Amino acid sequence: MQATNEIRDRSIAEFYENYMEQLFYFCLKKTGSNEEAEDLSQDIAYQIIAALNKGTVPQNYPAWVWQIARNRYSVWAANKHIRREFISDSDISDYEIEDEDGNILDGMIQTEQLALLRRELAFIKRDYRDIVVAYYIDDTNIRDIAASLSLSVSAVQQRLHRARKMLKEGMEMSREFGKRSYDPENITFAASGDQPSGLPWKAVDRKIPVNILLQASNNPSTVEELSMELGIALPYMEEEVELLHRATLLEKQGDKYVTNFFIMDKDCRIADYNAMRENSKERSRLINEFIDDTLPEIRALGIAGDHIDDNAIRWWLVPYLIDRLIEKSVKGQSIYEPPMRANGESWGFVGYELTEMPENTVMGHNGRGNRTNMFWTYKYGGDLNMWDQCGEPEYEDVMLMCDCIKNQRRIDSFTNTETGVWKRIDGRYAHAAEDGSVVPDILVLKAKDIERINELFAAHRNYNALINEFKELYFKLEEILKQRNHEVLHKNMGYNVRMELYSTRMMAVLDLLGDGVLKLPEDPSKSSFGMVIILS
């Protein structure tokens, strides 16, 4: 057996080395067409390789090769003559399509080429695939296939003919899948808005949909192109793409799909960072100058107890003032008014390619409560170990704290349930005084306090310079994003520019930490910097 295999392998190698090029020119001379010469030479090559794989050992190898070539040319010429007569004298719907492609495919089904056929069936469109499977695998005749698909017999014949050609071409080629088929890129996401359905997060909790979105980012792609790039069979790719389309993360343009949210690649992220970092120290200086000038008046509003020092107030004020500048500098869609989705939800989504950045400028801003009783916390990223700090309260915790502050309640007035809730609050966001009254350990602001801080800021000598700086920065980022992203994303440009601008919050914190203006907490796991209750 080993000797037979060695003879076969040598014969196949000799054929490819000595005859393939000669066969092509033989076919080109006979057909007069590059395309037809390629088809005919591939047909001849298949017949020769198939015979060698079955164990044929030719006595006169050159004569045997050229005899097969002449025989296959004769078949090709005869079939071409027949097809011409069909086209000129008959209606194609009167005939079952019978050509050399069909005979080749029939032969392949009976050989070891079946594995290749199955592979290629995975990469042709459903309209063709269903017909091929019905005709060859399920042994259904063309008229029954046409009836089951509500198509004309002619349409089924034409699709079957086209499918044969595609399958033959695919089976004779080496498939080369894209890099993402074996090496997925790392990406992280950020979202804002109302997401009761679980979207967009549940749509990107696996690598396959994430890689589809990466491939379609700024790159409108057909399902077939996505299938080839990721090395995923078309039936599965069709399903995945449809799920992402329904999740409103892919937008359809003709027969192509493109992501309808920004995915920031490395170059885009670096360009945005450099634009924001360029003048950040001056922005930080102007903001800190305002705080120095007005902090006594802000403290006099009663937003912090005597046991809360100025450092804690600054940790909240710095990002809050930048939020205010972003909100006021350019009118447009903010992260608090994200895009409306087809399912009635309102949320925004941004992807970030994971890459080594000069510094971590991520800052979160989470809230919990209702229209009149809200808890907010800034979440500081980077190496500060302050993202979670003492943790975030539950909804019931927020409601009890707000009730105690508004109504000056004492802990001896708590119900059994409230006593259980208080245990989660005590020592984290508030504590009980000796008389049992509740003392907040975080900032507490009323709506009128917010208004007064805004008035002080708008009246300060640095305000206009800061507003102009943020306007200029907005348009710089807008230009960067427009240059690097597909026009389908331009309609949500305001939302995405603002999402980027929020990195300036952390830049200011880092600047002021470096200058010694802000001081880190002794124990971040017990600190509550940046946490506030806002009462209406």
With 0-12 / 13-18 / 19 or more C-beta atoms within 10 angstroms meaning exposed / middle / buried, residue 493 is middle
Task: Tell me phi and psi for residue 103, to 5 degrees.
Answer: -65, -40
Residues 227 and 84 in one domain: no
Residues 330 and 201 in one domain: no
Task: Return the sign of the alpha-carbon dihedral for residues 391, 397, 399, 402.
Answer: negative
Indicate whether 108 belongs to any domain. Answer: yes
Element (H, E) at 196: none
Task: Look at residues 197, 203, 228 and name the one whose alpha carbon lies nearest to residue 215.
Answer: 228
Residues 400 and 504 in one domain: yes
Residues 379 and 253 in one domain: no
Indicate whether 255 belongs to any domain. Answer: yes
Residues 191 and 291 in one domain: no
> Could you tell me if 488 and 260 are in contact, meaning their C-beta atoms sit under 8 angstroms apart?
yes
Integer CA distances (angstroms), 149 to 131, 348, 493, in order: 9, 41, 44
Indicate whether 62 belongs to any domain. Answer: yes
Residues 194 and 161 in one domain: no
Coil, helix or strand for 378?
strand
pLDDT at res. 95: 32
Instruction: Look at residues 110, 139, 171 and tell me which one is the last residue of a structural domain.
Output: 171
pLDDT at res. 96: 37
Indicate whether 350 belongs to any domain. Answer: no
CATH of the domain at 244: 1.10.10.10
pLDDT at res. 129: 80
Instruction: Look at residues 231, 261, 291 and tell me which one is the last residue of a structural domain.
Output: 261
pLDDT at res. 117: 67
Residues 117 and 199 in one domain: no
Indicate whether 179 belongs to any domain. Answer: no
pLDDT in tens for each of the 536 residues of the chain? 455 677 777 888 888 778 888 888 888 878 877 778 888 888 888 888 888 888 788 888 888 888 888 888 877 776 665 444 433 333 333 333 334 444 444 444 444 455 556 666 766 777 888 888 888 777 788 888 889 888 888 888 888 888 887 777 666 655 555 555 555 667 888 888 778 888 899 999 888 898 899 889 888 999 988 887 887 777 788 889 999 999 999 999 999 999 988 888 888 999 999 999 999 999 999 999 999 999 999 999 999 999 999 999 999 999 999 999 998 987 654 545 677 787 788 888 888 888 889 999 999 999 999 999 999 999 999 889 999 999 999 999 999 999 999 999 999 999 999 999 999 999 999 999 999 999 999 999 999 999 999 999 999 999 999 999 999 999 999 999 888 887 777 777 888 888 899 999 999 999 999 999 999 999 999 999 999 999 98
Q: How many helices (H) and strands (E) does the chain have?
A: 21, 11
Supply 333's token pair.
């869609």
Instruction: Look at residues 139, 171, 203 and tell me which one is the last residue of a structural domain.
Output: 171
Indicate whether 333 belongs to any domain. Answer: yes
pLDDT at res. 332: 57
Residues 370 and 405 in one domain: yes
Residues 425 and 528 in one domain: yes
E strands present in 241-298: 250-253, 256-259, 262-264
Structural domain of 19: 2-171
pTM for the predicted model, two decimal places: 0.65
> Could you tell me if 371 and 365 are in contact, meaning their C-beta atoms sit under 8 angstroms apart?
no
Residues 390 and 501 in one domain: yes
Q: What is the 3-state secondary structure (H, E, C) of 353-376?
A: ECCCCCCCCCEEEEEEECCCEEEE
Q: What's the structural domain count of the chain? A: 3
Angle, in degrees to the nearest 10, between helices 310-329 and 447-459: 70
> Could you tell me if 20 and 34 are in contact, meaning their C-beta atoms sit under 8 angstroms apart?
no
Residue identified by tokens 């894209």 is: 178
Residues 79 and 205 in one domain: no
